[in-house]
Amino acid sequence: MKDSTLLMGKIDYINASPVYYGLDNGLLPDWIEMVPSPPAVLNGMIQDGKIAMSPVSSAFYGMNHRDLLILPDLSISSQGEVMSVVLMSNYTLDELHGRKIMLTRESATSACLVKLIMAQKQMVPVYNTGKLKCLEDIPGDVDAAMIIGDAAMTQPWESRFKYRFDLGMVWHGATGLPFVYALWVVQKKYAQQHPDAVIAALELFYQSRTMGYDHIKQVIRQGAQKLNLEEAYVERYFKGLICDLDAPKIEGLTYFFDSLHRHGIFPEKVDVQFFEPQ
């Protein structure tokens, strides 16, 4: 990693578009280099030290909380319906004990959320993990599949499955809390060595997000064009997504981590730590 350049991950789903809008439209300085990739790839890159700052799935942060700091007031969250994190199933949630559930390898958070929902219902399905982008990715013996991101909204999953469970709604129905799918984090070591760069990057993120919401009609139009969807559908999607990280969302995040530990899905309690500018 070059000392002079901050290598920064960028989710290539439309859900992060409001946060990156300004950086995509003139705010990006020459000392930051963007690295666009799916969440799972970015998770691996920050773990290997190939990038210093990135959005990551919240479960990935939980698994690596000793090495990472959360950037304040940035997330991808929902208070209920999320539309892009769904469990497609031929059975109701209460009928999945012993059934085959395929999990996407693109998101640690979604996989953990499905496992937690099943554990809370005292059910033990058979899990396997793989690529889940289109119908052809699903073997014939799979009873339910966890689909995330743009694919959840663009593929005809209903032709293969009977039920669509929006996991944001399932979580909110059970807890009354928002769900945090992704966080922006920085390597603890990098933050200690380059606190000024982190502060400057954080300020750019806030400016970029403000520009995104100031131009939300354009963000919606671009998202609809990218995914070949109706603008009204994409507008509904962005109405449900929240990109800040206030006290209720931190409470939801902490409750998620504590529940994962309580049910043995996480081996240890997660110490939620934020980057705090000195």
DSSP state at residue 96: -
Mean pLDDT of 208-219: 96
Are residues 16 and 152 both part of a single domain?
no
Q: What is the pLDDT of residue 1?
A: 41
Measured distance CA(116)–CA(155) in Å, rounded:
26
- Percentage with pLDDT > 70 across the chain: 99
Determine phi and psi for 117, rounding to 5 degrees. -60, -45
Of the residues 125, 142, 175, the one at which a domain ends: 175
Residue with tokens 């699903």: 138
Are residues 195 and 207 both part of a single domain?
yes
Q: What pLDDT, in 10s, does the model give residues 155-167?
A: 999 999 999 999 9
Q: What pLDDT, in 10s, does the model give residues 57-97?
A: 899 999 999 999 999 999 999 999 999 899 999 999 999 99
Best CA proximity match to 228, nearest among 130, 145, 156: 156
Instruction: Give the mean pLDDT of the chain.
Output: 93
Of the residues 175, 200, 221, the one at which a domain ends: 175
Q: Which pair of tokens denotes residue 255?
A: 């409750």
CB 169 within 8 A of CB 147: no
Position 3 confidence tier, pLDDT thresholds 50, 70, 90:
low
Are residues 258 and 204 both part of a single domain?
yes
DSSP SS3 for 247:
helix
Are residues 75 and 183 both part of a single domain?
yes
DSSP SS3 for 102:
strand
Per-residue CA distances from 68 to 26, 53, 101, 112, 247 (Å): 28, 9, 31, 19, 20
**Structural domain count of the chain:** 2
Measured distance CA(278)–CA(100) in Å, rounded:
49
Query: Which residues form the domain of 60?
Result: 6-79+179-262
Are residues 193 and 72 both part of a single domain?
yes
The pTM is what? Answer: 0.92
Per-residue CA distances from 111 to 25, 107, 244 (Å): 34, 7, 23
Q: Is the pLDDT of residue 271 over 70?
A: yes
Q: Is the pLDDT of residue 227 over 50?
A: yes
Measured distance CA(214)–CA(194) in Å, rounded:
31
Are residues 156 and 187 both part of a single domain?
no
Count CA atoms within 13 Å of residue 70 on its CB side: 26
Q: Is the pLDDT of residue 116 over 60?
A: yes
Q: What pLDDT, in 10s, does the model give residues 171-203?
A: 999 999 999 999 999 999 999 999 999 999 999
CB 242 within 8 A of CB 78: yes
Query: How many angstroms separate the first and last alpha carbons of the chain?
Result: 24
Are residues 164 and 188 both part of a single domain?
no
Top-confidence residue, 54 or 107:
54
Mean pLDDT of 36-65: 91
Residue with tokens 């789903």: 13
Lowest average pLDDT, out of 1-5, 70-74, 170-174, 220-224, goes to 1-5
Measured distance CA(188)–CA(200) in Å, rounded:
16
Give domain status of residue 271, yes or no. no
Are residues 110 and 65 both part of a single domain?
no
Q: What is the pLDDT of residue 11?
A: 86
